Chain A
């Protein structure tokens, strides 16, 4: 059972995955996955062992699917032609750590075929972009985990790829660094790049990704924007917290709204609503709030986070058909 929201942004997809399955002996790592990725930030979410890394390896041409195909701008991802469009930042912090940060990025520029001034220019530009220009003379083996992530990101960016594939890029990065890197991802997305970020930390993606792929046990459970996926999960009423001045007074009236399934009061001033049709509810509630002076302080859906949506998806997937 796969839930499909908006599968891509309107632009032409950079990456197309068609009915891909991958197995290792008796272990089915990926099962009939189809998706498209276009410009913007796409979050690949799933617990450890869900098949995220296997999927990323297929997308970056590190391995081949047993069934189906992966294409980047129409080229098979396994082929060198496709790899020119992809920047890959693999999981873990292994790299050629005997080199200095600057040398490492320069070597990567060389591996992409850049020479002379162009290689130097790209190296300096990328070091500046990932915030490592002032620390690039030190050998990579002396770097912290966060600095390694940045320098690896620099390696992935050196050839200015259209698709950036990042496997747990915020792993080990401090909160300030996370914010800086997230800003960088947003900038890249704004520049028309497709940024695919894999993470098992679900709330990381809430703010960042405009498109989410939920993967579990080798299956794509859902894809689309968080809001779209949440809306499609109509068997799980949306939970909304309303903070107002006299919750007990308004509870019965709110219960009368067609879209509201249940109301409970949570003292001192909160109402907790279960809503069946979110769009309809927001329309009804807006009208209600303007006709009744409820002294509204706050209105917040509590289960629209990636984590909550993922929990629902997992529950749904576990149910017998």
Chain B
């Protein structure tokens, strides 16, 4: 090992990215998420098939209101995001393999960013793929719904992944906290009247959807009081950047056992 070494910081980060992608994809989370997605798809197909008592084909608006908004946005999206993001760092910790990443000469913020990029790519692929398949169940009408939902899902995924990766950097058993957060805060709090729901990601994602007149979606809760689409986008971007920066800061300072 005496020749001049060809060391690249970018290549090192790319290796963290590839390793994280591989380890997350070939994991138990993927099996659980695949089962959930299959169930969701089955529900969508059964829902979309014309029934004897309702022979009219389902419309895109109905899909958005009855399936995508409650099932996909309110349940699947946070669950898929937490499945991968919350186990990324905490999984390496419990498996006692985080030390191998932290022993390299890659600065910790760059390790964190590489892991974030890997988890985001994986989660984004699955959420957008799932969304596309669910939209297809209503035929061509679903394409307009996909066009409306895709940017919202994209930004909400970024925000959820940044948040749950922060949990992962913080706690050894981050998945439990993330699950509790997704079920208690994102699902329950987001659906009660009042201002408390403004701390949730789903509130801003839903506000963005309600602002899109092409979908004709309306809140089914009294006094929901959504913010404008522009505000929702701004908050989601700022929250994503904030969670990411906080996660990087936390990860670069924390001493992991």
Residue positions of A touching B, CB distance < 8 A: 57, 60-64, 80-81, 83-84, 86-88, 90, 92, 94-96, 98, 107-108, 110-116, 118, 122, 125, 155, 159-160
Return the 5 tightest CB-CB contacts between A and B, nearest first.
Answer: A110-B15, A94-B96, A84-B105, A113-B7, A113-B12
At the interface, yes or no: B97 with Cβ under 8 Å from chain A?
Answer: yes
Chain B hits for A61, CB < 8 A: 102-103
B6 contacts A115, C-beta separation under 8 Å: yes
Which residue of B7, B103, B106 contacts A60 across the interface (Cβ within 8 Å)? Answer: B103
Q: In the complex, what's the smallest C-beta–C-beta distance from B2 to chain A, in angstroms? A: 9
Q: Cβ of B104 < 8 Å from any Cβ of A?
A: yes
Which residue of B8, B23, B26, B97 is within 8 Å of A115 (Cβ)? B8
- Count of residues in B whose CB is under 8 Å from the partner chain: 31
Q: Does B100 belong to the interface (CB within 8 Å)?
A: yes
Can you show 5 pairs from A to B with CB atoms below 8 A apart?
A: A64-B255, A80-B107, A90-B99, A110-B14, A159-B5
- Residues of A contacting B7 with CB < 8 Å? 112-114
Q: Are A112's CB and B19's CB within 8 A?
A: no
- Interface contact B1-A122, CB-CB below 8 Å: yes
CA distance A110 to B14 in the complex (A): 8
Assembled-state Cα–Cα distance A63/B19 (Å): 24
CA distance A86 to B6 in the complex (A): 18
- B103 to A118, Cβ gap below 8 A? no
In contact, B11 and A113 (Cβ under 8 angstroms): yes
What would 20 more interface pairs be, CB under 8 Å, given A96-B23, A111-B16, A112-B12?
Answer: A57-B255, A60-B103, A62-B255, A80-B104, A80-B108, A86-B103, A94-B96, A98-B26, A107-B19, A110-B12, A111-B19, A111-B100, A111-B106, A112-B7, A113-B7, A113-B11, A114-B5, A114-B7, A116-B6, A118-B6
Tell me, rounded to whole Å, the shortest Cβ–Cβ distance linking A47 to chain B. Answer: 20
Judge whether B101 is part of the interface by a CB distance below 8 angstroms: yes
Closest B residue to A96 using CB positions: B97
Check A80–B105 contact: CB distance below 8 A.
Answer: yes
Min Cβ gap B174→A in Å is 19
- Which residues of the other chain, A, contact B12 by a CB distance below 8 angstroms? 110-113
User: Counting chain B CB atoms within 10 Å of each CB, which of A87, A96, A98, A110 scores highest?
Assistant: A110
| Bound-complex Cα distance A115 to B112 (A) | 21
B residues sitting closer than 8 Å to A (CB atoms) are 1, 3, 5-9, 11-12, 14-16, 18-19, 23, 26, 95-97, 99-108, 255-256
- Chain A min CB distance to B207 (Å): 41
The minimal Cβ–Cβ distance linking A165 to chain B, given in whole angstroms, is 9
Tell whether, in the assembled complex, residue A81 and residue B105 are in contact, meaning their CB atoms are under 8 Å apart: yes
Closest Cβ of chain B to A187, distance in Å, is 13
B176 to chain A minimum Cβ distance, whole angstroms, is: 22
Instruction: Say how far B73's CB is from chain A's closest CB, in angstroms.
Output: 34
Which residue of chain A is the closest to B99 with respect to CB atoms? Answer: A90
In the complex, chain B residues whose CB is within 8 Å of the CB of A115:
6, 8, 11
What B residues does A96 contact at CB under 8 A?
Answer: 19, 23, 97, 100
B14 proximity list for chain A (CB < 8 A): 110
In contact, B15 and A111 (Cβ under 8 angstroms): yes
A113 to B23, CA, bound (A): 19
In the assembled complex, the Cα of A57 lies from the Cα of B19 at a distance in Å of: 24
In the complex, what distance in Å separates the CA atom of A94 from the CA atom of B91?
12
* A114 with B1: CB separation less than 8 A: no
Q: Is the CB of B255 within 8 A of A63?
A: yes
Q: Looking at the assembled complex, report how far the CB atom of B147 sits from the nearest CB atom of chain A, in whole angstroms.
A: 39
- Contact check, A62 vs B102: say whether CB atoms are below 8 A apart: yes
Q: In the bound complex, do residue B104 and residue A118 qualify as a contact, i.e. CB atoms below 8 Å apart?
A: no
Residues of chain A contacted by B11 (CB below 8 angstroms): 110, 113-115
